[in-house]
């Protein structure tokens, strides 16, 4: 029959539209932002676009939470969500924004630095779109995004990405916020976000910047403080303090020829003391088993356990896994130690944050009880 293939074509087109509709609905669900309930210590809520208006009404714009004290002191920037698939970074930033009060100086918190990256998942990683935590007010969800900006918002990728510092990288890195510093006002969306963060650093008079990350357990820079050379003493003192508390941290100097990263360009271009913290996250590693919600929250994985026994990892990985609460506790301990070290080195610019949950409590009880 002549019309047979037309009928088949119509049916298949209908099937295509149905698949597109149902999968599309799930993809679009990621565009709904997570909720945050800042503590009463919040003194101002701004948008990143307030520092760089070209970002307004783009997917790169994101919330900035400012906790200012009346007392004279230094200014701190805490960034989470540079990589939206590293949940301990984001969760630590959210936890701080929902609990702290500035007792001296000022703290600026950006929980979802690459906001666009939170609106999709990395293809072929099989990641869940969100995970859940029990809080006193009930169950809350948080998105697990992709390492890079959503291609829908920044498209196409160049074949080779030459970043603002002239470093050549694989094309996809054009969407990696932590390769885009110090940013470019007329560049890609991701470069504009980096540019806006640099503008914020200048406008808010930031003196100390902490970028919160996670890395795969097979990656050498892990459980680490990565520091710009202008923060080497700061990092060393912090490490000793952490060791005394029972948290092992490696010290990693920011390699001078690795360009576009926070710990390099915040220090070079803005002259602030820049550090980056890493905790081990199995859910974005290459050896992971099923990428379930439990892998994110409880962090148990039999293949990582096996890899640890074979000596392939840079962190111990036992049957208890490395749960989110431990990773967030490590970040909190890191932030606290770096602040203490900063205050010791620069007493006239001291920054004091009150009501910050203690790392030991978070490790014991989980994050939930401290969130709203």
Partner 1 sequence: MVAVFVLLATVFKLPMGISLALSALAGSLAGGEGIALRHLVEGAFGFFDIILIIASAMIFMKVLQESGILDSLVAAILRAFYKNKILLLLTVMLLIMFPGMITGSSLAAVLSTGPLIAPVLIKLGLPRLKAAAFIAVGAILGMIAPPVNILVMIMGGGVDMPYVGLTLPLLIITVPPAVIIALWLGTKDLRIVSREEMQFLLPASLREKYGFRLYLPLLVVLVLMVLQNFRIGPIPDLGLPAIFFVGSLTGLFCGRRFNFFKATQKAMEEAMPILSILAGVGMFVQVMTLTGGRGWAVMTFLALPPALLYLSIAVSMPLFGGVSAFGSASVLGVPFLLALIEKNALITSSALSAIVGIGDLMPPAAMAARFSAQVVGEKNFFRVLRHCMIPAFLILAMGIGVLLLAPLLDKVI
Partner 2 sequence: MRILYHLIVLYMTIQLVWYLFREKNFWKQASLVLVLVLFLLRLFLIE
Site track for partner 1 across 307-336, x = CB under 8 A? x--x-x------------------------
DSSP tag of 75? E
CB of 155 to partner 1, least distance (A): 9
90 binding partner (options partner 2, partner 1, none; Cβ < 5 to 8 Å by kind): none
**Of 171 and 205, CB closest to partner 1:** 171
Q: Which of 61, 68, 98, 92 is nearest to 79 (CA)?
A: 92
Give helix 324-345 / helix 87-99 axis angle, nearest 10°.
60
Structure tokens at 24: 């599309």
CB of 7 to partner 2, least distance (A): 10
Residues 336-355 that bind partner 1 (CB under 8 A): none
Among 5, 10, 26, 53, binds partner 1 (CB under 8 A): 26
The DSSP bridge partners found for residue 279 are 214
CA distance 175 to 156: 10
**Of 190 and 254, CB closest to partner 2:** 190
**Contact region for partner 1 (CB under 8 A) — 236-244, 257-265, 266-274, 362-370?**
257-265
Residues 231-250 that bind partner 1 (CB under 8 A): none
Structure tokens at 287: 């050896």
Among 70, 136, 139, 156, binds partner 1 (CB under 8 A): 156
Place of tokens 């379930």: 292
Would you mind telling me the total number of residues written for the chain in this entry?
A: 372
Exposure of 67 in the CB half-sphere (CA atoms within 13 A): 28
Helix locations, 150-231, DSSP H: 189-203
Based on the shown chain and the rule CB under 8 A, indicate whether residue 290 belongs to the binding site for partner 1: yes
Among 9, 171, 205, 316, binds partner 1 (CB under 8 A): 171
Q: Cα 21 vs. chain centroid, distance in angstroms?
A: 31
Based on the shown chain and the rule CB under 8 A, indicate whether residue 173 belongs to the binding site for partner 1: yes
CB 81 within 8 A of CB 113: yes
CA dihedral 351, 356, 361, 363 (to 10 degrees): -80
Place of tokens 């590293």: 86
Q: 202-235 burial string, b = 16+ CB within 10 Å, else e?
A: eebebbbbbbbbbbbbbbeebbbbbbbeebeebb
152 binding partner (options partner 1, partner 2, none; Cβ < 5 to 8 Å by kind): partner 2
The DSSP bridge partners found for residue 45 are 65
CB of 183 to partner 2, least distance (A): 18
**Contact region for partner 1 (CB under 8 A) — 38-46, 79-87, 160-168, 271-279?**
160-168
Among 10, 23, 32, 358, binds partner 1 (CB under 8 A): 23
The DSSP bridge partners found for residue 213 are 278
71 binding partner (options partner 2, partner 1, none; Cβ < 5 to 8 Å by kind): none
218 binding partner (options partner 2, partner 1, none; Cβ < 5 to 8 Å by kind): partner 1
Based on the shown chain and the rule CB under 8 A, indicate whether residue 160 belongs to the binding site for partner 1: yes
Would you tell me how many other CB atoms lie within 10 Å of the CB of residue 349?
A: 18
**Contact region for partner 1 (CB under 8 A) — 2-10, 38-46, 166-174, 240-248?**
166-174
CB of 154 to partner 2, least distance (A): 8
Based on the shown chain and the rule CB under 8 A, indicate whether residue 9 belongs to the binding site for partner 1: no
Based on the shown chain and the rule CB under 8 A, indicate whether residue 297 belongs to the binding site for partner 1: no
Query: What is the contact surface with partner 2 in residues (CB under 8 A)?
Result: 5-6, 8-9, 12-13, 15-17, 19-20, 23-24, 27-28, 120, 152, 155-156
Q: Which of 140, 75, 16, 19 is nearest to 270 (CA)?
A: 75
Pairing of strands 168-170, 160-162: antiparallel
Structure tokens at 363: 């490790």
Residues of this chain that bind partner 1 (CB under 8 A):
19-20, 22-23, 26-27, 121, 123-126, 129, 151, 156-160, 162, 167-171, 173, 218-221, 255, 257-259, 286-291, 301, 303, 306-307, 310, 312
């Amino acid at each position: 029959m002549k019309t047979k293939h037309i009928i088949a074509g119509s049916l298949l087109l209908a099937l295509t539209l149905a698949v597109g509709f149902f999968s599309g609905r799930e993809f679009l669900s990621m565009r709904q932002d997570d909720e945050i309930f800042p503590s009463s210590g919040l003194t101002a809520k701004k948008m990143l676009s307030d520092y760089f208006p070209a970002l307004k009404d783009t997917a790169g714009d994101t919330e900035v939470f400012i906790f200012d004290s009346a007392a004279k002191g230094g200014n701190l920037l805490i960034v989470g969500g540079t990589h939206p698939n590293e949940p301990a970074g984001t969760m630590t930033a959210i936890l701080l924004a929902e609990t702290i009060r500035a007792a001296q100086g000022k703290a600026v918190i950006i929980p979802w630095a690459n906001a666009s990256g939170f609106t999709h998942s990395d293809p072929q990683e099989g990641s869940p779109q969100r995970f859940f935590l029990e809080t006193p007010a009930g169950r809350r969800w948080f998105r697990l995004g992709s390492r890079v900006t959503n291609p829908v918002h920044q498209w196409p990728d160049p074949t080779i990405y030459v970043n603002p510092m002239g470093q050549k990288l694989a094309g996809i890195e054009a969407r990696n916020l932590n390769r885009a510093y110090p940013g470019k006002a007329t560049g890609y969306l991701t470069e504009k976000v980096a540019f806006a963060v640099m503008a914020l650093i200048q406008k808010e008079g930031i003196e100390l910047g902490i970028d919160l990350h996670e890395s795969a357990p097979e990656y050498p820079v892990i459980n680490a403080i990565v520091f710009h050379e202008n923060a080497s003493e700061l990092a060393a003192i912090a490490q000793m303090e952490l060791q005394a508390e029972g948290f092992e941290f490696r010290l990693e100097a920011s390699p001078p020829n690795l360009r576009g990263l926070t710990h390099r360009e915040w220090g070079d271009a803005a002259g602030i003391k820049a550090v980056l913290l890493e905790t081990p996250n199995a859910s974005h590693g290459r050896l992971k088993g099923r990428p379930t919600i439990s892998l994110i929250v409880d962090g148990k994985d039999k293949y990582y356990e096996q890899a640890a026994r074979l000596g392939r990892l840079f962190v111990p990985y036992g049957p208890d896994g490395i749960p989110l609460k431990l990773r967030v506790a490590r970040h909190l301990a890191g932030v606290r130690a770096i602040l203490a070290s900063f205050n010791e080195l620069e007493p006239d610019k001291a920054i004091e944050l009150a009501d910050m949950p203690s790392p030991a409590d978070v490790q014991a009880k989980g994050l939930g009880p401290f969130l709203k």
